[in-house]
Chain A
Amino acid sequence: MLLIHCPYCDETLPEMEFAYAGEAHVARPVDPSRTTDEEWRDHLFVRSNTRGPHAERWRHVHGCARFFNAVRDTVTDRVLATYPAGSPRPDLPGKDTP
Chain B
Amino acid sequence: MGATHVPMVEDLPPRHRLSLRVREGGRGAVGAALGLDLPERVGERARGGGREALCLGPDEWLIEAEEADAAALARALGGVDVSHAAVDISDREVGFRVSGPGTLALLAMGCPRDVARIAPGRGARTIFHGASVVIRREAEEEVRIDIWRSVAPHVRALMETGLKELRAGL
Contact = CB atoms under 8 A, between A and B. Distances in A.
Interface string A28-62: 00000000000000000000000000000000011
A14 interface: yes
A61 B42 CA distance: 14
B43 interface: yes
Interface residues of A, number: 16
Contacts, number: 44
Interface in A64-78: 64-66
A13 B124 CA distance: 12
Contact of B60 (A1, A62, A64): A64
A20 interface: no
Given A62-B127, A64-B125, A13 B113 contact: yes
Contacts of A17: 112-113, 126-127
Contacts of B112: 1, 14-17
Given A9-B43, A10-B42, A17-B126, A65 B56 contact: yes
A90 interface: no
Contact of A62 (B42, B43, B126): B126
Interface string A1-19: 1000000111101111100
